[in-house]
Amino acid sequence: MASEPTTTPTLATLSTTTPVPRPQRLWPGLALATAGSIAFSGKAIIVKLAYRYGVDAVTLIMYRMLFALPLFVGLAWWAGRGRPPLTARDWRVVAGLGFSGYYLASFLDFAGLAYVSAGFERLVLYLNPTLVLLIGRVLFKRRVARAQLGALAVSYLGVLLVFGHELHIAGSHVALGAALVFGSAVSYAIYLVFSGEEVRRLGSLRLTGLATTVACLLCLLQFVLTKPLAAAAVAPQVLWLSVLNATACTFAPVLMVMMAIERVGATVAAQTGMVGPLSTILMGIVILGEPFTVWIGIGTVFVLSGIWLLAKAHPKT
């Protein structure tokens, strides 16, 4: 989903023990991985469109999660059929993962999109693998190879280039937006770091369904506690955009990525997912009218190159 952070699980949450794909299964798997990545990326575009109707982040994410809730409850039920019930320990872990990986990451992301472009948001979120590496180094003293440090430097240089460009064009509020989106990326990276054992215990689909259900309930509770009920009265366009966000840009991509991994494996699906930031930038230009400059292009190349280098430097198991 991202990830998105972002209420969508990324490939790091999924088992990589998939069979080697047969040639005839390659193209369908690539098509599913590409479609899933593009659909995930469309979330930022929809959020930016919804903001044009005067809705705030708390209300917007409430509607997205309201419409997604029955889908993920169904996913959790389907994936859990015939399996042992969750223990008290499982519920505590799922609640924590749902809070960090899907509630907090999503809210910070939605809030940050009020201040930064969709393309820049996607580049920051794409730093997830680097953040997972850094958190592992800080918390678990995991060794970081020199090649991995070089890959991190390349990725962050790209983000800084685009940040400097946005700061020059849009003003100081971009710093707040960048901090919120980066906080979203950190929150989701924490989820990735601590979700590995639970994925093995529950399975990726069941964990995704349960953790996202927790996040949906938290988003609904946040709205009830912080907003008057009158705030739920929004433009019809916001409702339709939220339905589209919950289905086409949240739930459907989860299934497409899962199906892609079954056909081509996690590594190939992850590499195909690099189309995500490019598709967000393109949709931002075409749909939102966001500017495209040489600095955005250079920054995007640096970020994607850094992630590619990081994947190459990752020790094979």
pLDDT in tens, 4-44: 544 444 444 433 344 444 545 577 877 888 888 888 889 99
- Please, are residues 300 and 123 in contact by the beta-carbon 8 Å criterion? yes
| Greatest Cα-to-Cα distance within the chain, rounded to the nearest angstrom | 56
pLDDT band for 134, please (50, 70, 90 cuts).
confident
pLDDT, tens digit (0-9, with 9 covering 90-100), for 65-108: 999 999 999 999 999 998 989 999 999 999 999 999 889 999 99
**pTM more than 0.95:** no
What is d(CA 48, CA 251) in angstroms, rounded to the nearest whole number?
19
What is residue 6's predicted lDDT score, i.e. its pLDDT?
A: 45
3-state secondary structure the chain: CCCCCCCCCCHHHCCCCCCCCCHHHHHHHHHHHHHHHHHHHHHHHHHHHHHCCCCCHHHHHHHHHHHHHHHHHHHHHHHCCCCCCCCHHHHHHHHHHHHHHHHHHHHHHHHHCCCCCHHHHHHHHCCHHHHHHHHHHHHHCCCCCHHHHHHHHHHHHHHHHHHHHHHHHHCCHHHHHHHHHHHHHHHHHHHHHHHHHHHHHHCHHHHHHHHHHHHHHHHHHHHHHHCCHHHHCCCHHHHHHHHHHHHHHHHHHHHHHHHHHHHHCHHHHHHHCCHHHHHHHHHHHHHHCCCCCHHHHHHHHHHHHHHHHHHHHCCCC
List pLDDT tens digits, range 243-288: 999 999 989 988 887 777 777 766 666 667 677 777 888 888 889 8
